[in-house]
Amino acid sequence: MNKNRINILKKINHRDGPIVYWMSRDQRIEDNWAVIFGLELAKEKNQPFVIVFNLVKSFLDATYRHFHFMLMGLKETQLKSHEYNIPFKLLLGNPIENIPEFLRKIKAGVLITDFDPLKIKRYWKNKISQAIDIPFYEVDAHNIVPTFYASDKMEFAAYTYRPKIKKLLPYFLEEFPIIDNQKKYWDFEEINPDELLSQIKVDTTVREVKDIKPGATNAQLELDYFISHKLNKYNELRNNPNYNYQSNLSPYLHFGQISSQRIALEIKKLNSEDANTESFLEELIVRRELSDNFCYYCPNYDNNLGFHEWAIKSLQEHSKDEREFTYTLEQFEKAQTHEDLWNAAQMEMVQKGKMHGYMRMYWAKKILEWTPNPEEAQKMAIYLNDKYSIDGRDPNGYTGIAWSIGGVHDRPWADRPVFGKIRYMNLNGAQRKFDIVQYINNNLYLKLI
Ligand code: FAD
Ligand code: FO1
């Protein structure tokens, strides 16, 4: 495989022992470069390849909804792993202790993990690297062009990242090699989602949603449906919240139940280089990978210090502007603002686990408008998005919120109250774009359920 997908976290001589993949972000067996690399190494060294997943008891305020989705997906992943005779072990607790202990127990020779730009994951990796004495590799199994290879700095905007990605795509957008069964070594006990859900500490009031079904098989079905029923109108209808013309793949991408590279390969296979394909691949590749670039190179991706200087200055200049409405977190959470459109979007997220992409921008910008300051606005938006959206606590979420509230990857616009030079969105604009009454009727009633 292309070795530029690999980052060395600990350089030390290999020694005999199982090759272990600590799976975290890319929770699938097929189309996974970390699995491919692990199996290659295992074959070369004539050692078993083993996968371990560490389930933490809490993770960035994730709720029952998220853990349920993840564990149901992992159950399927484990079954698939065992089909290839790859032992798949689930550990419960703190990865900083569990992973080194597991490696010692099975006398591992090499540790591999998947790439993730989030601070908490980098902290875990750093601590684990200090605690082990075997080589440690990180494979970017999430992006088509590896984040650490595509650019060595935080990109200014999509227009600066796009040419870099496009230049490198021919080298990285390749078909995945077929993985072979390894000989049978041993199996670990089966994952039992219900039992595990009872052992973790999460908010159980936010329940699973019926329309977003977990797992790699459902991810593939969603992709097939998108290609056969929606792609031909994606460009025209994706920004209309009354039509479900987005792919709905973000929950699966977030948990790595499907690979973005597989999606791109299937779309490319259609050979229809029209505006629909182009705009979908722009979102899937350029925009999504730009979010990883932002979070990787900007540790302040979740606070105001991550904004451009012009945005910080402009928001500061307007910090004392009078706000016509201000709401508490509780009022936002309960969809109790004066505006039905905003309340409907909030209810869509709370009840359906996913808000339409156009409304996400509107929703976050109104939080900026209706809170005392941008720091609070950003915190509240992250809290609500991460609590209810199945695809929350993802680089795309932190970046989307930083774009809406802090102009990240955007340019300065005409100066106006409260927003300063941050791009503004209002009710009239939404009304011109789509039938807001229909959207309100479809979503606000969810409050009554
Ligand atoms: P599609 O339109 O079908 O797009 C396909 C894929 O392209 C998406 O799954 C996603 O991976 C990528 N993509 C699409 N739009 C964007 C974008 N603007 N930026 C980066 N990647 C994109 N996305 C999340 O995955 N998780 C989040 O928590 C999240 N929070 C957001 C919060 C705000 C305030 C904003 C403005 C955007 C947020 N986004 C988030 C980005 C975007 O809205 C979603 O990725 C998209 O709506 C997901 O739906 P889909 O898969 O049906 O999208
Ligand atoms: N990663 C893990 O390695 N272990 C977990 O227990 C875990 C829980 C979890 C819950 C919700 C969620 O949204 C993500 C979770 N992740 C977990 C991490 C995830 O796989 C991603 O790596 C990051 O959230 C985004 O890159």
Q: What are phi and psi of 343, to 5 degrees?
A: -60, -40
The ligand placed nearest to the CA atom of residue 263 is: 1
Question: Which CATH code of 2.30.130.30, 2.30.30.90, 1.10.579.10, 3.40.309.10 fits the domain covering 304-443?
Answer: 1.10.579.10
Which residues surround ligand 2 with Cβ inside 6 Å?
24-25, 54-56, 59, 62, 66-67, 70, 116, 118, 121, 255, 393-394
Q: What is the residue with the minimal CA distance to atom 21 of ligand 1? A: 288
The two structure tokens encoding residue 283: 């979102």
**Domain 143-176+215-297 class, CATH top level:** mainly alpha
CA distances from 64 to 58, 312, 388, 397 (A): 10, 36, 10, 19
Q: 205 near 350, Cβ under 8 Å?
A: no
Mean pLDDT of the chain, nearest integer: 96
Q: How far is CA 368 from CA 298, 347, 377, 404, 423, in A?
A: 21, 19, 5, 8, 11
Is the Cβ–Cβ distance between 220 and 258 less than 8 Å? yes
Residue 25 has pLDDT above 70, yes or no: yes
pLDDT score at 389: 98
How far is CA 433 from each of CA 211, 227, 249, 361, 403, rounded to the nearest angstrom?
26, 25, 24, 14, 20
- Among 260, 393, 396, 398, residue to substitute to test ligand 2 (most atoms within 8 Å of Cβ): 393
The pLDDT of residue 186 is 80
**Contact (CB, 8 A) for 426 and 327:** no
Q: How far apart are CA 91 and CA 299, in angstroms?
A: 28
**Which atom of ligand 2 is least distant from the CA of 116?**
26
The model's pLDDT over 119-174, given as tens digits with 9 standing for 90+, comes to: 999 999 999 999 999 999 999 999 999 999 999 999 999 999 999 999 999 999 99
Q: Is 229 exposed, middle or buried (0-12, 13-18, 19+ CB in 10 A)?
A: exposed
| Residue 273 pLDDT > 90 | no
Q: Which of 186, 180, 149, 179 is nearest to 164 (CA)?
A: 149
Segment 368-402, tens digit of pLDDT: 999 999 999 999 999 999 999 999 999 999 999 99
Which residue is closest in CA terms to ligand 2's atom 19? 25
Residue identifier of the C-alpha nearest atom 2 of ligand 2 = 24
Centroid of ligand 1 to alpha carbon of 305 (angstroms) = 23
Task: State the average pLDDT over residues 113-118.
Answer: 98
Which tens digit of pLDDT belongs to each residue from 207-244? 999 999 999 999 999 999 999 999 999 999 999 999 99
Q: Which of 392, 383, 385, 351 is nearest to 209 (CA)?
A: 351
- Atom of ligand 1 at shortest range from CA of 290: 20
What distance, in Å, lies between the first and last C-alpha atoms of the chain?
50
**Residue 185 pLDDT grade (very low, low, confident, very high; cuts 50, 70, 90):** confident
Q: What does the alpha-carbon distance between residue 344 and residue 122 come to, in Å, rounded to a whole number? A: 36
Ligand 1 probe mutation, 165, 245, 250, 361, most atoms within 8 A of CB: 250
- Which run of H or of E encompasses 113? strand 110-114
Question: Ligand 2: which of 23, 25, 197 to mutate, most ligand atoms within 8 Å of CB?
Answer: 25
- Secondary structure (3-state) at 91: strand
Q: Is the pLDDT of residue 78 over 80?
A: yes
The helix-helix angle for 95-105 and 119-131 (nearest 10°) equals 40
* Interior angle at CA 124, CA 78 and CA 3, nearest 5: 70
State which of 21, 22, 23, 24 you would mutate to test the pocket of ligand 2, scoring each by most atoms of that ligand within 8 A of its C-beta: 24
Instruction: Give the per-residue pLDDT at 447.
Output: 62
Please check whether residue 176 is in contact with residue 141, taking contact to mean a CB–CB distance below 8 angstroms. no
Cα(352) to ligand 2 centroid in Å equals 20
pLDDT for position 188: 82
Ligand 1 residue neighbourhood (C-beta within 6 Å) = 238, 246-250, 253-254, 283-284, 287-288, 291, 357, 360-361, 364, 385, 389, 391-392, 394, 396-397, 400-401, 403-404
Q: Would you state the pLDDT for residue 150? A: 98
Distance CA 20, CA 37 (A): 11
Residue 128 Cα distances to 106, 134, 295, 439, angstroms: 16, 11, 21, 48
Q: Does domain 3-142 have CATH number 3.40.50.620?
A: yes
Which residue is closest in CA terms to ligand 1's atom 3? Answer: 247
- In the reported structure, the alpha carbon of residue 241 is separated from the centroid of ligand 1 by a whole-number distance in angstroms of 13
Q: What is the CA angle 363-367-373, rounded to 5?
A: 155
- Between the CA of 93 and the centroid of ligand 1 the distance, in Å, is 30
Counting ligands in written order, the one closest to the CA of 128 is 2
Q: Where are the alpha helices (DSSP H) in 260-394?
A: 260-269, 275-281, 288-297, 309-317, 329-333, 340-352, 357-369, 374-388
CA 317 to ligand 1 centroid distance, Å: 30
Q: What is the DSSP letter of 444?
A: G
Q: Whose CA is nearest to atom 3 of ligand 2?
A: 24
State the pLDDT at residue 448.
55
pLDDT at 87 over 80: yes
Q: How far is the CA of 291 from the centre of ligand 2 (A)?
A: 17
Query: Which residue from 165, 283, 380 has its CB within 8 A of the most atoms of ligand 1, so it is best to mutate?
Result: 283
